[in-house]
């Protein structure tokens, strides 16, 4: 939570889009990255991807102290879905240096195998994610609650489930396909 307690409460999904043949170095194809920080400046490997889409759900006024109080007392606050797009060198952007108090699920779109071959191109997966987000912007995700309601974790899980339902994104088949780095 932006401006909240110093524990990782925020979850976001990043879809990294690009030519996967260009990254045959140490980064394994098909790897899903899970990071316990939202500080992208510490993830230099992201610069191998020319396009990033960051999707998340957060309070409309995340730095307002009353937001933290309301959420801590299990009340809802107005929420907003957010999509941020980067097309060049994400780790050098001013938005890359976050407070470090979040969890990121990074899907390198184009290198993760899909079971449903039709419509499984990178642009189709990105389009599905953006459609999912935009269709829910004004009704399903208008209020945020820490428990027993919609929050950033439920949005991330709903989005990943939608991508799986539409494109059949294969689950990882071994632990080395999930990267739990810092």
Span 125-145, pLDDT tens digits: 889 999 999 999 888 888 888
- Mean pLDDT of the chain, nearest integer: 75
User: Where is pLDDT greater, at 160 or 6?
Assistant: 160
For residue 179, how many other CB atoms are within 10 A of its CB? 16
Q: Give the confidence band of 36 by pLDDT, cuts at 50, 70, 90.
A: confident
Query: What residues contact 67, with CB distance under 8 A and at least 6 apart?
Result: 3, 59, 61, 77
Q: State the pLDDT at residue 158.
A: 92
d(CA 173, CA 131): 28
Q: State the pLDDT at residue 26.
A: 40
Closest CA to 36 of 107, 92, 108, 100: 100
User: Where is pLDDT greater, at 39 or 77?
Assistant: 77
CA count, 13 A, side-chain hemisphere, 19? 2
Phi, psi (degrees; rounded to nearest 5) at 81 = -85, 140
User: Where is pLDDT greater, at 58 or 33?
Assistant: 58
Q: State the pLDDT at residue 5.
A: 59
């Amino acid at each position: 939570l932006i401006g909240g307690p110093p524990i990782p409460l925020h979850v976001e999904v990043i879809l990294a889009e690009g030519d996967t043949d260009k990254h045959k170095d140490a980064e394994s194809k098909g790897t899903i990255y899970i990071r316990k920080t939202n500080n992208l400046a510490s993830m230099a490997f992201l610069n191998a991807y020319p396009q990033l889409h960051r999707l998340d759900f957060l309070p409309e006024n995340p730095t307002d102290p009353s937001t933290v109080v309301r959420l801590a007392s299990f009340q809802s606050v107005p929420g907003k879905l957010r999509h941020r797009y980067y097309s060049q060198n994400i780790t050098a952007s001013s938005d890359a240096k976050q407070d470090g108090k979040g969890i990121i699920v990074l899907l390198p779109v184009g290198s993760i195998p899909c079971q449903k071959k039709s419509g499984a191109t990178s642009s189709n997966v990105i389009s599905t994610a953006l459609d999912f987000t935009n269709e829910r912007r004004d009704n399903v995700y208008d209020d945020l609650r820490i428990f027993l309601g919609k929050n950033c974790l439920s949005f991330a899980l709903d989005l990943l489930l939608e991508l799986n339902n539409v494109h059949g994104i294969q689950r990882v088949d071994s632990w080395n396909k999930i990267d739990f780095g810092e």
